[in-house]
Structure 1
Amino acid sequence: MKKTEKNEKQKETLIKVLKYMKPYRWLVVLTILMAAASVALTLYLPVLTGNAVDWLTSLISPAEGTGSPWPALFTILKKMAVVVVLTALAQWLMGICNNRIVYSMIQDIREKAFCRIQELPLKYLDGHSQGDIVSRVIADVDQFADGLLIGFTQLFTGVVTIIGTLFFMLSVNVGITVVVVVITPVSLLVASFIAKKTFSMFKLQSETRGEQTNLINEMIGNQKVVQAYNREDETLEAFDEINGRLEKYSLRAIFFSSITNPSTRFVNSLVYMGVGLTGAMAAISGRLTVGQLTCLLSYANQYTKPFNEISGVVTELQGALACAARIFELIEEEPQTADAADARVLTDAKGAIDLSHVAFSYTPDRRLIEDLNLQVEPGQRIAIVGPTGCGKTTLINLLMRFYDVNEGSISVDGTDIRDITRKSLRTSFGMVLQDTWLKRGTIRENITVGRPDATDKEVIAAAKASHADSFIRRLPDGYDTVIGEDGGSLSGGQKQLLCITRVMLSLPPVLILDEATSSIDTRTEQKIQKAFATMMEGRTSFIVAHRLSTIQNADVILVMKDGHIIEQGNHEELLAEGGFYAKLYNSQFAIA
C-alpha cells in the first residue's frame, strides 16, 4: 500500500471511529472537563510546592519584623491536601467516563458486525474463512477497545497538560519556557516517525492472527480427519509457517512501539537539562527564587511526561486503527439484496413452482446451470439425481434464495421469489440436509427452532414420527438434555434424526430433503421413509438422493448433468428409455 493510500485509510478509519463516538459526545465533553480539572489541579500543586519551599527558605534567613512562617506553611499544606484529593476524584470520574464511552462503542460495533453477518449473502461467507471473520469480531474488537481505552485516558490529559504547563511556565519565566518550546519539536518528529511505521506492522499482525485463528478452528473441528489421514505433521508445518509470520510481524510492531519510550525519554532529558541549566543561572543571578526554580523543574517534568504518554498512545492507536479498519471492512460489506418495499408475504403456499430459463454460476468464468426450465405442480414429489457437481444442491440454494439467479426466474404460486419476502419464502420451505446443524442448548430447543411455540405434546409426536423419541428418552435428561455445539457427542445418525424431527414439527407446504437419511441405518431409514411418505402427502417435495432406491415412488425424476436436466420422467419411464438414469440405476443394483 502506498504512503498516501495508507494515510487516507487511517483518516477514513478515524472518521468512522468518531461517528461511533457521536452518541456519547456528552460523556466525551465530561471527560475533557475532568481532564482539564485534573491537569489544572496537578499544575497548581507545583505552585504550592514552590511557595512552601520559599517559606522553608525563609526559616534559614528570616527577615526582620516578620512573624512565624509556620501558620502560612500549614495553610499551604492544607491546600495541597485538598488539591490532591480533588485531583484523584477528577481522575476517577474521567476513568468512569472513558470506560463508559469505549465499552458502549464496542458493544455497538460488535452488535453492528454480528447483525451484518446475518445480512451478508452466502457468497461472502462461502468466500471467506470462518476463523478470519471470528477473529475480526472478537480479537480485533478487543484490541481496538484496549487501544481506544488507553487513548482516551492519556490523550486528553496529555494534550491539556502540555497546554496548561506552558501557560503556568510562562507565568513564572518566559525565557525558560522558550527553551522548552524550542526542544519540543524533536519529540513530535520521533512520535510521527514511529506512528507511520507501526500502522502497517499492526495491520499485518491482525490479518495473520485471523489466518491463524482460521487454521486452529479448522483443525479442532476436523481433528478426527487429521488423525485418520496422519496429517499431524503437515498440519503442524502449516501452523508453524503462519505462527512464524505472526512472530515476525509482531516483533516488528513491538520493536517500533518499544522505541517510543526511550526516544521520548531522551528528548525529555534534554528539556529537563535545558530548564535546569537556564533556571540555575537565573537563580544565581537573583532573577528566580529557589521555590520558582523548584516549580519550573516540576513543570518541565510534567511537560515532557505527556509526550511519553502521547507517543505510547499513538502507537496503541495505530494498532487499534488497524484492527478497526478490518472490523469496518466487515460492517461495510455489501449486504444481500433487500426485500422489495412491496414484496409479497407468502402465506398458505400451494407449492406450484416454476423455473424459467434459469442460469447461474458461482464464478463468472465457470458456468454451472444454463437455461434450466421446470414446472412443478402442487403436491408433486420431485426427485433430483445426477453425478457430483451437476448442480443438485445449487438448485436447492436457488429455490431457498440463498443465492439469486443470474438470468431467468423462479416463481412460487405464480410470484417471482425475488418479489416475496425472504422470511415468508423460507418459512414455507422445510429443509433436511446431509450436513446437520444443531446449536448449543437442549434437545427441545433444537427441535423447536422453526416453531418455538410448539407444545411438549407436539414435540414428542414429531420425535415419534421421526423415530428419534426412543434415543432421546435414553439421554440423561431426555428432551431437556443439553448438547454442545453441532450436537456434541451425539452420533451422526442421531443428529440427523433431530433435524428430521425439526421439519416434521414445522410441517411446511414445501419440503426439501437433500440426502436426508444418509447417516441413518437401513432399518431406521425404512421407517423414516414411511413417515416421510405420510408427511409429503399433499406437499410439494424435492428429494435429492444418490441412493436411487429411495426415490422410486417420486412423481417426477429429474436427471441432471453439467447444470442441465438431461432426462425427466418417473422411474419406469426412465428405465425404459435406457439412458443415463438407467445406467446409474443398474450400476447401483448390478449383480456381481
Structure 2
Amino acid sequence: MTERTDPRPVAETGAPNPDAHTSGVPRTANERPKHGPQRGMGHGPMQGLGSAEKAVSFVPSAKRLLGMMRPERNLIIVVIVISALATLGNAIGPAILAQGTDLIFAGATGGGIDFAALATVIWQALGVYVIAGVVLWFASFLINDIVQRTVYRMREMVATKLNRLPITYFDGQPRGELLSRVTNDIDNIAQSLQQTLAQMLNNIFTVIGVLALMFWLSPPLALVVLISVPLTVLVTAQVMKRSQKRFADMWRATGQVNSEVEEAFTGHSLVKVFGRQREVAARFAERNNEMFDASFRAQFISGIVMPAVFFIGNLSYVLIAVIGGVWVAAGTMTLGAVQAFIQYSRMFTQPITQLASMTNLLQSGVASAERVFEVMDAPEQSADGTESLPVPLQGRVDFDHVSFSYDPEKPLITDLSLIAEPGATVAIVGPTGAGKTTLVNLLMRFYEVDAGRITIDGVNIADVPRPELRANIGMVLQDAWLFGGTIRDNIAYGRPTATEAEILAAAEATYVDRFVHSLPDGYDTVIDDEGSNVSAGEKQLITIARAFLSDPAILILDEATSSVDTRTELLVQQAMQALRGGRTSFVIAHRLSTIRDADTILVMENGAIVEQGSHEALLAARGAYARLYRSQFAGGLDDDEDEAA
C-alpha cells in the first residue's frame, strides 16, 4: 500500500504528464507492465494498448467511418449523380466508336469509306470523353472537400474527447502512442479516403454501366465475362481476411516507434548522462524492425490481390477474343460489336482490378480509424455537477472519511478525515509513497474518491463543475511545466485577463524579475515546450509566479521550491508566506525546515494520518515526525526538543 512515486499531475492546468518518471533513463513501451498498477505512471488501467492488437473489425469500423461523412450527405449525393453521368459518358464512348469501326469495315469491302460520317462519329466520341473527364475532375474536387471536412470534424471530436477523459486514461497511455493515434492515424484516414472514394464511385458505376451495355450487345459474351466476378471476389476476400490483422499490427508498431522516439528525445540529456545511447539505439532498431516486418507483411499480402485479379481478367479477355472472332467469321456478329465488346471487357475488368488493388489502402485506413475510435469510445470522466462554490470563498476544506485506491485490491487511503480551517496552512509530510500528493490530487479532482467526501465551505466538490473548482485552487508542483511561448505568456497562463502591471507585480513578488533581465529578450524571451533554455530553478519560479497571479482561494504547494538554490529558497519562502496570507494552503514538503511555521503539520504513513499538530508539539511527542526531523537534522534535534519541552 504505497503511493505512486510520481503521481504526475501537471502544473496548474490539471493535466497529467503520463511519461514523466523518476528513473535515470527514459523507459520505453516494452518496459512498461501491461497489467496492474504502474509506479511512476499512475495506477489506471492500460486502456488502449492491447486493443490495437486484435484484427480490424473491418465492416463495422468501415460503416462507422463512412457514417462520419453524414453531415456532407448533400455533397455526396451531388458527387454520386455527376459520377454516374461521367461513367455513362465513358461507357457510351466505345459504342460510338463501334459505329466508326463498322463504317471503315463497310467502306473497305464496299464502295469506299464515308469520311464525313466517320468524322461525325469521332467528334461525338471526343466530345463525350471530354465532358466525362471534366465532370470526373469536378467530382474529385468535391470528394476532396468532403474528406477534408470529415477529417477536420474527426480531429475536433478527438481533441474534445481528450479533454473529457479522466487522468487514469493518460496514466495508462504512452504519450507517443496517443500522439500517433491523434496525428498519424488521422492523416492516414484522410489519405486512404482521398485515394479510394473517387475511384471507388467511378469504378462501381463503370462496372454497372459496362455490364448493362455488354448484355445489350451480346448476352452470351456478357455471361462469359461474369464468370470472372465470383473468382475475383473469392480471391479478394481471402487476401483481405489474411491482411486485416497485419495492418492492425503495422499501425500498432508505428505507435510504438513514435513512443520510443518521443521518450528518447524528451529524455535525451539523461540518456547521454548515463551513457545509454547504444541501448536506446538498440531499442529503436528493435521497434523499427518490428514496424518494418509488420509493414512488409501487410503490404505483401494485400499486394497479391492485384496480380491475381489481373490474371483472371486476362483469361476472360482471351475467351471473349476467341469466341467473338468465331462469331464474326460465322457472320453472327459484326466486327465493330466485337471490338466494342473487347473494350467493354477491359473496362469491366479494370475497375474490378482497381477495386481489388485498393484493399490495402482501405484496410490501412480502417485500421487507423479503429484506433481513433478506441480513443473516442474510451470511458469519460464522471459528469460535472451543477452546484456552485460560495462567493466569496472562505476556504474551509473538510476531508470526511475519505477512502481511495489506484488498484481496488490495494487500498491506499482508508477512512481519512481532516479539516483545514480558512486561512490555515496545512503541511503534509511523510516518507515517499505515503499518499501525500494523492491527497491533494483528490482535492483537485484529478481522481475521484472511492468513499467519503471532500467539501469546501460545506459544498461537496463532487457536485461542483471541475473548471469552477480548479479556478479557485492554485497549484505549484515539484515537476514544473512550461509551455512553448514567452515568459510573459507562461506567467499569464494563470490568469489570461491579467494586465501587464499585474504580471510584472507577480514576477517581482516571486523573484522572477531578478533573472529575467539577464535574458536577451527579457519577458519576451521565448521558451521552448521543454523549457530547456531556462534552468530548473527558474522554471519553478515562473510556475510560482503563475500561481501567484491566479490569486486562488486555496493554494497547493507540492515541493514548490525543490529546484531552487538555498538563497533563492529563502526569498521564495517569503513570497510564499505572503501568497499564503488569507488563503487555505496545503504544503507538501520533504525539507521540514520549510514548514516550521505551518498551523498544522500532518504526518502520513501508508495513506493514513499518524500524527498531527504544530512543529513544537510533534517534536515533543517523539513520534514519526521526530524521526523524520532527526533524519534531516541529526545533532540539532536535542536542542529543539529541549526548546519544545
TM-score (norm 1): 0.96
**Does residue 240 of the first structure (1) align with residue 285 of the second (2)?**
yes
**Does residue 358 of the first structure (1) align with residue 402 of the second (2)?**
yes
Contact 1:346 1:420 in 2 (8 A): no
2:130 to 77, 85, 99: 85
Who is 2:110 aligned against? 62
Who is 1:567 aligned against? 611
Contact 2:390 2:457 in 1 (8 A): no
Who is 1:45 aligned against? 93
Contact 1:116 1:331 in 2 (8 A): yes
1:453 to 472, 497, 500: 497
Q: 1:311-353 CA distances to partner (integer Å, 9 max, x unpaired)?
A: 122222111111111100100111100112x332554221100
State the alpha-carbon separation in 2 of the partners of residues 274 and 484 from structure 1: 68
Contact 1:154 1:313 in 2 (8 A): no
State the alpha-carbon separation in 2 of the partners of residues 40 and 345 from structure 1: 67
Q: 1:154-173 maps to which residues of 2 (within 5 A)?
A: 154-173=199-218
Report the alpha carbon displacement of residue 445 of structure 1 after superposing the two structures with TM: 1.4
**Does residue 142 of the first structure (1) align with residue 190 of the second (2)?**
no
Higher helix share: 1
Q: Helix, strand or coil for the counterpart of 1:487?
A: coil
State the alpha-carbon separation in 2 of the partners of residues 486 and 466 from structure 1: 21
Counterpart amino acid of residue 77 in structure 1: I
1:467 to 511, 517, 529: 511
Who is 2:259 aligned against? 214
Who is 1:434 aligned against? 478
Who is 2:40 aligned against? none
Who is 1:23 aligned against? 71
Contact 1:345 1:421 in 2 (8 A): no
Who is 2:18 aligned against? none
Deviant stretches of 4+, over 4 Å: none
Contact 2:303 2:360 in 1 (8 A): no
Contact 1:347 1:424 in 2 (8 A): no
State the alpha-carbon separation in 2 of the partners of residues 473 and 405 from structure 1: 45
Report the alpha carbon displacement of residue 448 of structure 1 after superposing the two structures with TM: 1.0
Counterpart amino acid of residue 329 in structure 1: E
Who is 1:502 aligned against? 546
Q: Helix, strand or coil for the counterpart of 1:299?
A: helix
Who is 1:125 aligned against? 170
Q: 1:258-299 CA distances to partner (integer Å, 9 max, x unpaired)?
A: 111111110110111111111111111112222212111111
Q: 1:392-411 maps to which residues of 2 (within 5 A)?
A: 392-411=436-455
Who is 1:536 aligned against? 580
Counterpart amino acid of residue 265 in structure 1: F
State the alpha-carbon separation in 2 of the partners of residues 581 and 318 from structure 1: 62
State the alpha-carbon separation in 2 of the partners of residues 348 and 85 from structure 1: 74
Who is 2:22 aligned against? none
State the alpha-carbon separation in 1 of the partners of residues 612 and 471 from structure 2: 29
State the alpha-carbon separation in 2 of the partners of residues 172 and 346 from structure 1: 83
Contact 1:346 1:424 in 2 (8 A): no
**Does residue 325 of the first structure (1) align with residue 373 of the second (2)?**
no
Structure 1 segments unaligned to the other structure (5+ residues): none
Higher relative contact order structure (alpha carbons within 8 Å, sequence separation ≥ 6): 2
Identity rate, percent: 39
Report the alpha carbon displacement of residue 11 of structure 1 after superposing the two structures with TM: 2.8
2:246 to 187, 196, 201: 201
Contact 1:43 1:164 in 2 (8 A): yes
State the alpha-carbon separation in 1 of the partners of residues 410 and 285 from structure 2: 35
Q: Helix, strand or coil for the counterpart of 1:485?
A: coil
1:290 to 330, 335, 360: 335
Q: Helix, strand or coil for the counterpart of 2:497?
A: coil
Who is 2:640 aligned against? none
Q: Per the alignment, do residues 326 and 346 of structure 1 end up closer, same or farther by CA in structure 2, a change over 3 Å counting?
A: farther
Report the alpha carbon displacement of residue 481 of structure 1 after superposing the two structures with TM: 2.2
Counterpart amino acid of residue 124 in structure 1: Y
Q: Per the alignment, do residues 546 and 6 of structure 1 end up closer, same or farther by CA in structure 2, a change over 3 Å counting?
A: closer
TM-score (norm 2): 0.88
Q: For structure 1, which segment, 355-364 or 52-61, has the greater mean C-alpha deviation from structure 2 after superposition?
A: 52-61
Q: 1:340-359 maps to which residues of 2 (within 5 A)?
A: 340=385, 342-345=386-389, 347-359=391-403
Q: How many residues align?
A: 584
Counterpart amino acid of residue 376 in structure 1: A
Report the alpha carbon displacement of residue 394 of structure 1 after superposing the two structures with TM: 0.4
Report the alpha carbon displacement of residue 170 of structure 1 after superposing the two structures with TM: 1.3
**Does residue 421 of the first structure (1) align with residue 421 of the second (2)?**
no
**Does residue 524 of the first structure (1) align with residue 568 of the second (2)?**
yes
1:555 to 586, 599, 603: 599
State the alpha-carbon separation in 1 of the partners of residues 391 and 233 from structure 2: 66
Who is 2:522 aligned against? 478
Q: Helix, strand or coil for the counterpart of 2:612?
A: strand
Report the alpha carbon displacement of residue 6 of structure 1 after superposing the two structures with TM: 5.7
State the alpha-carbon separation in 2 of the partners of residues 78 and 369 from structure 1: 86
